[in-house]
Amino acid sequence: MYRTGCYVASPPVTLPVLLGDEAGGTVEAVGQRVHEYRPGDRAILMYDVRAGGLGPGGTAEYFKVKSMDLILVPEGLDMDLASLAETICLFVFVVLRCGVKLRDTAVVTGMGFIGQIIAQGLKKSGAAEVIVVEKSEYRLDLAARLGADVAINSSTENPLKLVMDRVADAFQEAEDNPNQLKIVIRS
């Protein structure tokens, strides 16, 4: 989790640094021992952050990566959509690891891109009720259209009071708001 002032790069980073690891593009050149890719191939970056350091600079016009960190993009698949694969994979993993079971009640706070993925994943995993908490009406409406059962606007309603009469079996925080943890602690 990246929070302002809380992220320490390992190994230490020397500035300036090129940021970005959710990227895709066209292979321009390959090394002598690379046989899986050819110039002209479309590929996305699936950088393994466990290898240490930051991503290879996916915001740059050109960047160099190991072939093991690339995945070919099928013909016809939009590159903008394909480049989201790494992010989506991470949060599908969150859903799979949270232990939600059939008929469970799940609460997700923060209905940005990540929260929307998590809420949909929890619903598809069998949660009987997915409760979402967010300040934006637009995001709440989208979450409801995508399968959320209860949408709570935390700027006009008290989510703690509304969730207290339910027992949440799973809770996922998809926003950087420690106040939302009160819902979990008290429910």
Say how far apart CA 158 and CA 133 lie, in whole Å: 10
Per the structure block, which two tokens stand in for 146? 């995508």
**Predicted local distance difference test score (pLDDT) of residue 58:** 72
What percent of the chain shows pLDDT beyond 70? 74
Domains of the chain: 1-83 (3.90.180.10), 87-186 (3.40.50.720)
Instruction: Report pLDDT digits (tens) over 59-70.
Output: 778 888 888 888
**Average pLDDT for residues 24-38, to the nearest whole number?**
93
Measured distance CA(76)–CA(60) in Å, rounded: 24
Instruction: Place 1 in a pLDDT band, splitting at 50, 70 and 90.
Output: very low
pLDDT (average), residues 94-122 = 91
* pLDDT tens readout for residues 72-107: 999 999 998 898 888 888 888 888 888 888 999 999
Length of the chain: 187
Q: Residue 2: pLDDT above 50?
A: no
Q: Is residue 7 scored above 80 in pLDDT?
A: no
Residue 74 gets the label, from left (phi > 0), alpha (psi -120 to 50) or beta, of beta
Q: Give the model confidence (pLDDT) of 129-180 as tens digits.
A: 999 999 999 999 999 999 999 999 988 988 777 776 666 777 777 766 656 5
* Distance, CA of 27 to CA of 35 (rounded, Å): 13
Rounded distance, CA 130 to CA 168, Å? Answer: 9
The residue assigned the tokens 């799979």 is 96
Angle CA 153–187–126, to nearest 5: 75
CB 172 within 8 A of CB 114: no
Q: Which whole number is the average pLDDT over 29-44?
A: 94
What pTM was computed for the model?
A: 0.70
Torsion of CA 101, 102, 106, 112, to 10 degrees: 90
SS3 state at 180: helix
The answer to whether the beta carbons of residues 67 and 30 sit under 8 Å apart is yes
> What DSSP string runs through 68-128?
GGEEEPPTTS-HHHHTTHHHHHHHHHHHHHTT--TT-EEEEE--SHHHHHHHHHHHHTT-S
